Chains A and B, each alone.
Chain A
């Protein structure tokens, strides 16, 4: 079991706020790793540092041994690290199909001119990419939505399309920022199923940030817990569930009668 991604001693502050402090996590290849924690624990910051939106003040991030700490988001995408966003980021005026095709953009080789002429290479390339996108459409069971503008879709479906767009990159690592936020139970179950299937079918490593503890505990291989920018626990779901530091972070001190809601 080798780590595909190593996060080593990473810190990041915004002004006076220390969002993440000296966090180290190794993400094993082919596993589903969840990062959980109360609001403001620094989960999304970690994700943003992996995908290159922020750069850490200290520490390093290694992808398969290569330092990616200071690469731009587009360069990290080229290394096939894909992500979804907490607040869906799709082109709402474009169709589902176009959004997914766009997800393959970084894999396309033909330049502007040959694309414009659209003959030979560019055409062959488009057909190959479209084939892959059709596989994803089939995988996500959104055949009926191909031509629908994403803006007209229900929230749960937009989340699904966003997952599709991330998958269109054929990612080695898939970063999911609250993929089930704001969903009803049935949509959550569907999404959990898709995440498991992605992991099983393509062996994709998945890093998941999620609030719904039930889902996290059900589908994760490993869980890391952050609180106030610090990593307070890491391990298998069953170990983490009973870890006193985690219970404290989520429920507050046992002495106080007040319960903090995450």
Chain B
């Protein structure tokens, strides 16, 4: 029997929760329009049945199980079931293209894949010949699967039925398996999309996971009655950490949305008490609010604009620790009633005690907006290799420039060239089957080299500027951090993605992908007809709009790093085309190579350039599209000195 007081692995936490608060909700899923729940008792039962079913299929210690699909309770249960048997969970991004999936599944020697539905099973079938280690494919949703007759394909329910049969013969089997599990066993292999090269599988042990949970608990007020909405990709370390680690550690409830399209509505219905979202989601939410405010009648719009300014003024004073005048406080209270409360309610954040943003820097204006309307938004910093957590902002010290104080038990040091080094019990074991890459990032003293450039400010907060290798200098020697400029650009509601260039160049230039939604609405408002993204992006009027936006942004940039020329891309940057990672970070080197002619054109007198873009469809087919794009010049107050 497993020792009751030994809580050193995730399955042991599950046993504890099922024992100590069996009736509390562990998982909810919106299905058929209703939130259906599993108590910890039910969850334990689901995991037990599936784990024993897996054992009956021959899954054993050290084997690897992968899940692919949207956030579904059964896919989480499957991961935990594998861990119960001493196995490893390898979640993958369901929108990955075939080549990436084949690489990960074969690299990780995955022997069981649990797929959400027919769509995902089809992907596995197409790749099966490339996966010699794959023995079983299990599907959750039986819809459309009747015609699939393969002896290596089973339904989730069948595996569980086999598990129940097994349990009837040998009741203590699961407990014995769990008791054999060691804290140093690998729990997850999370593939980092990596801005360079093939994905690397970061091995995270139970010790890493639980140590990180302890760190998070010490820094933030997680409660057992919290509600969390699991809508981010399961393969992202942030989701795994919340749903499969924190939830088990603290005992709070994970809620799965009905479908990716209903997330916004489910969020509002549920009103989660805590939320984790990458900057992109915050930006989308803000854009959504601004579009709706713009579409509202003139009175409502003016009320919104007025109170938004009030809130932002107050937030700036508050962040600087300055006293807030009584009049402003009264107006703010009024705004709370008329604007902030209702807006928070509309976006589903009314009950949210704290919300975290991480994965990439968030534009200060977006950050300030949410804090201003009363959302306790804070920055968190971490990566797959640190089990998702290094530092976090305390509620009283939230601000848009830092990523917070290192959590209890985390040592941070700044190396030469400003690289951030981290040491803690949460640092991963290493990259799967890649000793060399592991040695590159974990040194002899156990410091993990994050690859980020940053510094620690006088308050003790960590500040991250950019990827260490990306920081450069423009020709006159002024330091140039491309991401810093891109983030400023991306705060414009009209800009979806931006890539800035300027290292060893006379001035800074940028390639910009417009936001089809907002620019489209802007064009419609002006009765400007357009057909496609390509067409819209090359309208002279749109060029003018973006020129004004950039001129505004330039006012906040130092003279030497002002953007002098830019170009609007004729297609968005896409992860499928390898231009971005799955977590939507620009793969700078790849983009620089791919768009080399554009960059050259920026620094000559060219005013137009031909873009040859290859487009990769989800099934892996590629097509080439040629188009011409104009290069725009931005006038600056002072003449450019280059």
A residues with a Cβ closer than 8 A to B are 131, 134-135, 137-139, 141, 143-144, 146, 193, 196-197, 200-201
Q: With A and B bound together, what is the CA distance between A137 and B578 in angstroms?
A: 35
Query: Min CB distance, A63 to chain B, in Å?
Result: 26
A134 touches B33 (CB 8 A): yes
User: Are B259 and A143 closer than 8 Å at their CB atoms?
Assistant: yes
B261 contact set on A, CB distance < 8 A? 143-144
B262-A144 in contact (CB<8A): yes
Which residues of A lie under 8 Å from residue B182 when comparing CB positions?
none
B259 touches A144 (CB 8 A): yes
Q: List 27 A-B contacts (CB under 8 A).
A: A131-B32, A134-B32, A134-B33, A134-B34, A135-B32, A137-B32, A137-B33, A138-B31, A139-B143, A141-B259, A143-B33, A143-B258, A143-B259, A143-B261, A144-B258, A144-B259, A144-B261, A144-B262, A146-B33, A196-B144, A197-B143, A197-B144, A200-B144, A200-B146, A200-B147, A201-B143, A201-B146
Cα A6 to Cα B147 with chains together (Å): 28
| B265 interface hit (Cβ, 8 Å) | yes
Q: A134-B34, A197-B143, A201-B144 are in contact. List 14 more A-B contacts (CB 8 A).
A: A131-B32, A137-B32, A138-B32, A143-B259, A143-B261, A144-B261, A144-B262, A144-B265, A146-B33, A193-B144, A197-B144, A200-B144, A201-B143, A201-B146
Bound-state CA distance A141–B143 (Å) is 12
Q: In angstroms, how far is the closest chain B Cβ from the Cβ of A2?
A: 22
* Complex interface: chain B residues within 8 A of A193 (CB): 144
Smallest distance from the beta carbon of B500 to chain A beta carbons, Å? 35
Q: Which residues of A contact B144 (CB under 8 A)?
A: 193, 196-197, 200-201
Closest B residue to A97 using CB positions: B33
Which residues of A are found within 8 Å of B258, using beta-carbon distances? 143-144
Q: Residue of A at shortest CB range from B261?
A: A144
User: Can you list, as one digit per residue, whether each of B134-146 has a CB less than 8 Å from chain A (1) or not (0)?
Assistant: 0000000001101
CB contacts under 8 Å to A, within B9-66, are: 31-34
- Residues of B contacting A141 in the complex (Cβ-Cβ under 8 angstroms): 259
Most buried by B among A131, A138, A193: A138
- 8 tightest CB-CB pairs across the interface, nearest first? A144-B261, A134-B32, A144-B262, A143-B258, A143-B259, A197-B144, A134-B33, A143-B262
Count of CB-CB pairs between chains A and B under 8 Å: 32
Q: From residue B268, how far is it (CB to closest CB) to chain A in Å?
A: 12
In this complex, the interface size class of chain B, counting residues with CB under 8 Å from chain A, is 10 to 19
Q: In the complex, which residues of chain A have a beta carbon less than 8 angstroms from the beta carbon of B33?
A: 134, 137, 143, 146
Q: Give CA–CA (A143, B259) in the complex, Å.
A: 7
Bound-complex Cα distance A134 to B34 (A): 10
Smallest beta-carbon distance B576→chain A, Å: 16
CB distance from B499 to the nearest CB of A (A): 30
CB A149 to nearest CB in B, in angstroms, measures: 16
- B265 contacts across to A, CB distance below 8 A: 144
A144→B265 CA distance, assembly (Å):
8
Contacts of B31 in A (CB 8 A): 138
Bound complex: CA A135 to CA B34 (Å) = 12
Bound CA–CA A139/B32 (angstroms): 10
CA distance in complex: A231, B34 (Å)? 49
Complex CA gap A201/B145 in Å reads 9
A135, A141, A144: residue with the most chain B Cβ atoms closer than 10 Å: A144
Q: Which B residue sits closest to A144, measured CB to CB?
A: B261
B contact residues around A131 at 8 Å (CB): 32
Q: Quote the shortest CB–CB distance from A227 to chain B (angstroms).
A: 33
Report the Cα distance A63→B119, complex, angstroms. 36
Bound-complex Cα distance A137 to B33 (A): 9
Provide the bound-state CA to CA distance between A197 and B146, in Å: 9
Chain B 262-281: CB-based contact to A (< 8 A → 1; otherwise 0): 10010000000000000000
The residue on A at minimum CB distance from B144 is: A197
Contacting residues, chain B, for A144 (C-beta < 8 A): 258-259, 261-262, 265
Closest A residue to B147 using CB positions: A200
**Closest CB-CB distance, B609 to chain A, in whole Å?**
31
CB of B295, distance to nearest CB on chain A (Å):
15
A137 vs B32: C-alpha distance when bound (angstroms): 8
Q: Which residue of B lies closest to A196 (CB)?
A: B144
How far in angstroms is the closest Cβ of chain B from A197? 5
Measured CA separation A137–B265 after assembly (Å): 16
Q: Which residues from B are CB-within-8-Å of A135? A: 32
Q: How far is the CA of A201 from the CA of B144 in the complex (A)?
A: 7
Once the chains are docked, how many angstroms separate the CA of A138 from the CA of B144? 13
Least Cβ–Cβ distance between B147 and chain A, in angstroms:
7
Chain A residue with Cβ nearest B259:
A143
Which residues of chain B are within 8 angstroms of A138 by Cβ–Cβ distance? 31-32
B446 to nearest A CB, angstroms?
Answer: 47
Residues B126-156 near A (CB distance < 8 A)? 143-144, 146-147
Q: Mark B387-416, 1 if CB is under 8 A from A, else 0.
A: 000000000000000000000000000000
Nearest chain A CB to B494 CB, angstrom units: 25
A196 to B147, CA, bound (A): 11
Residues from chain B with a CB closer than 8 A to the CB of A139 are 143
Task: Give the distance to chain B from A218, nearest Cβ to Cβ, in Å.
Answer: 14
Per the bound structure, the CA–CA distance linking A141 and B32 in Å amounts to: 11
| CB neighbours of A197 from chain B (8 A) | 143-144
Distance in Å: Cβ of A73 to nearest Cβ of chain B: 31
Task: Count chain A CB atoms within 10 A of each CB in B32, B259, B261, B262 and give the residue with the most.
Answer: B32
Cα A143 to Cα B146 in complex, Å, equals: 23
- Chain B 503-538: CB-based contact to A (< 8 A → 1; otherwise 0): 000000000000000000000000000000000000
> Among B33, B147, B262, B265, which residue has the most Cβ atoms of chain A within 10 A?
B33
- A134 and B147 CA atoms in complex are apart in Å by 24
Min CB gap A187→B, angstroms: 16
Task: Specify the chain A residue showing the minimal Cβ separation from B142.
Answer: A201
- Restricting to B576-628, which residues have a CB under 8 Å from any CB of A? none
Residues of B within 8 A of A200 (CB): 144, 146-147
Chain A residues near B32 (CB-CB < 8 A): 131, 134-135, 137-138
CA–CA, A145 and B606, complex, Å: 48
* Chain B contacts for A134, CB-based, 8 A: 32-34
Contact residues, B283-298 vs A (CB, 8 A): none
CA distance A200 to B146 in the complex (A): 7
Bound form: Cα–Cα A139–B147 in Å = 17
Q: B33's closest neighbor in chain A, by CB?
A: A134
Beta-carbon nearest neighbor of B265 in chain A? A144
Please report the C-alpha to C-alpha distance between residue A134 and residue B36 in the assembled complex, in whole angstroms. Answer: 14
Closest to B119 in A: A193
The minimal Cβ–Cβ distance linking A204 to chain B, given in whole angstroms, is 14
Q: How far is the CA of A84 from the CA of B262 in the complex (A)?
A: 27
Complex Cα spacing A13 to B479, Å = 84
C-alpha gap A141/B262 in the complex (Å): 11
- Nearest CB on B from A133, distance (A): 9
A132 closest partner in B (C-beta): B32
Q: Which residues from 240 to 272 on chain B have a C-beta closer than 8 Å to any C-beta of chain A?
A: 258-259, 261-262, 265
Write the nearest CB–CB distance from A199 to chain B, whole angstroms: 10
Name the residue on B nearest A147 (C-beta): B265
Tell me the nearest residue of chain A to B262, going by C-beta: A144
Q: Considering the chains assembled together, what is the distance between the CA atoms of A231 and B259 in angstroms?
A: 45
Interchain CA distance A138-B259 in the complex, whole Å: 10
Q: Which residue of B lies closest to A145 (CB)?
A: B261
CA distance A193 to B259 in the complex (A): 19
